[in-house]
Structure 1
């Protein structure tokens, strides 16, 4: 991955002029102004960058990426990175052995033990929040896509048919079966032997180390005793099902942390979207140079800019449409980086009937039916109505590129020659005239497109669609609505949003992560696209996706991913908006800033510092 300073010629002169006289403000505190806030601080539930940015530095993982590399690792809570050469990966890649570091303490003073590592993964597997991150670990260990699916395969009933939403059993006769399931399936997969923790995989899974590394915040190692004291799973086989898929704010870890990481959570002010971290003075490794980190969601660019200019912020999120304003900012440095990420618009084929965004729930010009986007012509019309070149050139100011699907161009499986939609309002009109047997064109509709508040790029993408689609027919109405990040995620996961713009940062550098997440019926995005999409995926995509992850021949695997992407195009499964090039605006007094293309946050708080 390349790092490039991109500086306008005149801006370079300004940098040279102003950095020499920069006076560091609050030298021991780093203030990052972003948009949004964490959704949850439970490592088993959180599956978003805002949450991950906090969890990454409050907790530690077993291993970490080596600097900017996404393929080399260094030990953290493990004393060695497993490999075949050192004998810690055996059984043809099905067994991973991690020696656990001694003398490490959690923030409350409890000492780390191998049992904490075992508990962390078992608890999160049994918790398995729907739409959460543990599909990856469950898939790697057991070759199932969810705990629910695994239980159904082993017992004969899905877990959701056996357990009520409050965690109680629908029939007490299920208890013995579920206890046996834990004892025979879950417990043997992760074992403690002396000072080591051993993971037993059903079959080899090449990216397994990526699933456990720093920035994989779902693998943050937790303190078993603290979790139990706070009300999490008690570590026993009897009753584990009570903790399955708990609602977000019901989790005891929703807003509390106790990690071993270089920073300690001291405040999460949800009214201000502000998180405050303080330096862990007793950190086992190299201590952070900063005493305090403030991650603050400030949704308005002008406010972020004013605070940056005043020296009250060290790094700010900048929408690309304001790039030209950088020429006038003093004491700045700007980095251009490529993260493994894509931005797409996705349709909900079966909107929840409780959704407040259905309007009349009919095709009468005042709403849409829940299955509005189950119509292929309707989806295809939206795809033709988006001005892709305007998005890249005018909104992103060239800091992005077109893609053909949900797959970034820097991963196996991508092929720029695959078919993709072009902006064509004539074809969009034709598709709308076919949609729902012509009723869409005759009656019209009113639909809501959603984005996360403060994300002006996503807002503009929605506005492009609105302007173009409404120009085709006066009966077409599109509402655009922004939501605070946690609310946005809640609406998304509960299937209430008709369509959303969402960015996906790869969890690990393999095409399976993005293809599965978006196109498989059990994927985080796929599942949220409603029952209609799920049934389509089960019939047309799941088998291809599952074949691709086990294929060892790279050419054959490439072909499988190309076939999946062609199917996504033919059935208009979403709008691939762009792959961004990210711009990071940082004060010139910030030193040691580095970027990993897989990271979920905006700064390496544990190693950066400030000086003139």
Structure 2
């Protein structure tokens, strides 16, 4: 079964290649043009593609996938992969020991030590930003999903009721409780023993190694000394809560970085959305072939295309709809790969009332109430109003397929025969007439759908909703608005979007990573669907989701994930647009480029070089 999955995911082929070569421009610099910019440079906070594609090459992890083989690991900052056979996995799968590599330097010259590994994971667990990636680490180590829940379980009071939004204790007497919590719960779970780091899990967790490799940038190893110097948690038990859920820009490493990776951070030009990385000549492993990386967010398609044609860019992000504009360009090749990813549309059942996207805030034809999508008829109407086939065939030019739900094809839990909505405007009209006891149809509504600027496929999806839904009733109004990627992330995470289009690239190749993310009340996309959804998920989805990750029988897990997806369909929890086959246009002088179905970004910077 695993071999079949790998072959499916590793479908990589060349669509076209020119036989003539142009003179190579800037042979020691690789320029990759995409859309947006990093949300942050803090690996403990970052949970988006634009951040990950930069962090992956500044920092390093304990281990890595063996190239494109997602079933095999190789060591990086560790020197061995823990297995039962070599004795590094013990105690029925609850103890993992990682011998740590010696002679590694951080970019500023500091020595890498086992204490840096311990500090990294403890710091990130205690940080645990809302809707961030640390749920994976906390779930694996403690069988909880958030630090807030873990504190509540051990102390009896959620952390959010003990500290305010600025990290100050509401009751100073709680300091002793929180110090003891760190000493008895957090600190013993990750410890240094000689030149090894040992993780103690509260119960076996089969995907544990999968949340640690390269491309899992939330497991990037930090330099403790530098982090403390810059103002991060100092490693002591007293006062750790001051660093819990710190606002993004307040993180001391929001816009600074010091890793051990093949490239060192040089500059982040926010006005141009441009990050510059320079080769780290003191790197312990094989040196990068390229001296400099320009990772540049240029949202306008025409500019990206023109720079690629002129040779001023080596590779660009290209939505499939623009394939005809580049496929015949001279000295260009286009590669393709099927990623472990889906793009979906989800509803917020209880929008934050401070949102700017609700219009009047009432159902008067000029807005919507905050709980507009808590009515299943509104959700069902939108689900019937989207033209799925046109999206795949005309926008993606056939480079995609439509899974019934959020589990990609080829993965455990996928079943092509599961029910899904089809485009049917007559049924959409019926549902709108039922919504809110007929008031939606009678009064009309107005709402705003956002997309991240430069993502033309998501823009088109929002415009499809607008055109189709507005055609049903002149009182229906949908505004489509583009914003920068970090602003889009902030808006959906804060619960201010009535609905949102969002993609997900697997953190690790297991259905839990998709099901938990979209449907669990603590999921990155679950929480932003509002308080009413959270309550629904807690009652109807959380128990089966948590049982499915603990189940070891694949047949039983398949049945459980199918049941979850049926619940999602019956209650219209969202709609999956597509699983895309990505296209990667680049100059023919690009050599060493490799596709990886799970990587953030579209270029393996440490292996790329330019040659005729």
Q: TM-score, normalised by structure 2?
A: 0.98
Post-superposition Cα deviations, 1:286-331, rounded to whole Å, max 9, x if no partner, equal 0000000001001111100100010000000111111112333111
- Determine if the alignment matches structure 1 residue 269 to structure 2 residue 269: yes
Equivalent-residue separation in structure 1 for 2:493 and 2:318 (angstroms) = 27
What secondary structure sits across from 1:536 in the alignment? helix
Equivalent-residue separation in structure 1 for 2:10 and 2:157 (angstroms) = 50
- Determine if the alignment matches structure 1 residue 505 to structure 2 residue 505: yes
Q: Provide the residue aligned with 1:395 in structure 2.
A: 395
Q: Provide the residue aligned with 2:23 in structure 1.
A: 23
Equivalent-residue separation in structure 1 for 2:546 and 2:111 (angstroms) = 40
The 5-angstrom pairing of residues 473-488 of structure 1 reads: 473-488=473-488
Equivalent-residue separation in structure 1 for 2:524 and 2:410 (angstroms) = 22
Contact 2:12–2:338 under 8 Å retained in 1: no
Q: Provide the residue aligned with 1:419 in structure 2.
A: 419
Q: Provide the residue aligned with 2:143 in structure 1.
A: 143
What secondary structure sits across from 2:501 in the alignment? strand
Q: Provide the residue aligned with 1:178 in structure 2.
A: 178
Equivalent-residue separation in structure 2 for 1:579 and 1:603 (angstroms) = 20
Contact 2:305–2:326 under 8 Å retained in 1: no
Shift of 1:358: 1.1
Post-superposition Cα deviations, 1:441-485, rounded to whole Å, max 9, x if no partner, equal 000000111111000001001111111100100000001111101
Q: Provide the residue aligned with 1:528 in structure 2.
A: 528
Post-superposition Cα deviations, 1:256-296, rounded to whole Å, max 9, x if no partner, equal 00100100110101110000000001001100000000010
Q: Provide the residue aligned with 2:6 in structure 1.
A: none
Q: Provide the residue aligned with 2:69 in structure 1.
A: 69
Q: How many residues align?
A: 604
Equivalent-residue separation in structure 2 for 1:146 and 1:121 (angstroms) = 14
Contact 1:46–1:218 under 8 Å retained in 2: yes
Shift of 1:203: 1.0
What secondary structure sits across from 2:111 in the alignment? coil
Equivalent-residue separation in structure 2 for 1:119 and 1:546 (angstroms) = 28
Q: Provide the residue aligned with 1:374 in structure 2.
A: 374
Equivalent-residue separation in structure 1 for 2:324 and 2:104 (angstroms) = 47
Shift of 1:244: 0.2
Q: Provide the residue aligned with 2:313 in structure 1.
A: 313
Contact 1:123–1:233 under 8 Å retained in 2: yes
Q: TM-score, normalised by structure 1?
A: 0.98
Contact 1:34–1:316 under 8 Å retained in 2: yes
The 5-angstrom pairing of residues 430-441 of structure 1 reads: 430-441=430-441
- Determine if the alignment matches structure 1 residue 98 to structure 2 residue 106: no
Shift of 1:352: 0.6
Q: Provide the residue aligned with 1:357 in structure 2.
A: 357
Contact 1:3–1:335 under 8 Å retained in 2: no
Equivalent-residue separation in structure 2 for 1:170 and 1:3 (angstroms) = 54
Unpaired segments ≥5 residues, structure 2: 1-8
Equivalent-residue separation in structure 2 for 1:195 and 1:323 (angstroms) = 52
Contact 1:70–1:596 under 8 Å retained in 2: no
Equivalent-residue separation in structure 2 for 1:576 and 1:370 (angstroms) = 23
Q: Provide the residue aligned with 1:406 in structure 2.
A: 406
RMSD: 0.8
Equivalent-residue separation in structure 1 for 2:208 and 2:242 (angstroms) = 28
Contact 2:445–2:477 under 8 Å retained in 1: yes
- Determine if the alignment matches structure 1 residue 51 to structure 2 residue 59: no
Post-superposition Cα deviations, 1:216-254, rounded to whole Å, max 9, x if no partner, equal 000000011111111100100111101000000000010
Equivalent-residue separation in structure 2 for 1:316 and 1:166 (angstroms) = 40
Q: Provide the residue aligned with 1:260 in structure 2.
A: 260
What secondary structure sits across from 2:429 in the alignment? helix
Equivalent-residue separation in structure 1 for 2:344 and 2:75 (angstroms) = 35
Q: Provide the residue aligned with 2:3 in structure 1.
A: none
The 5-angstrom pairing of residues 217-232 of structure 1 reads: 217-232=217-232
Equivalent-residue separation in structure 2 for 1:403 and 1:365 (angstroms) = 35
Shift of 1:549: 0.4
Shift of 1:334: 0.9
Equivalent-residue separation in structure 1 for 2:358 and 2:465 (angstroms) = 19
Shift of 1:5: 2.4
Q: Provide the residue aligned with 2:597 in structure 1.
A: 597
- Determine if the alignment matches structure 1 residue 456 to structure 2 residue 456: yes
Shift of 1:84: 1.1
The 5-angstrom pairing of residues 543-582 of structure 1 reads: 543-582=543-582
Unpaired segments ≥5 residues, structure 1: none
Structure 1 residue ranges (4+ consecutive) displaced by more than 2 angstroms after TM superposition: 1-7
Equivalent-residue separation in structure 2 for 1:333 and 1:509 (angstroms) = 29
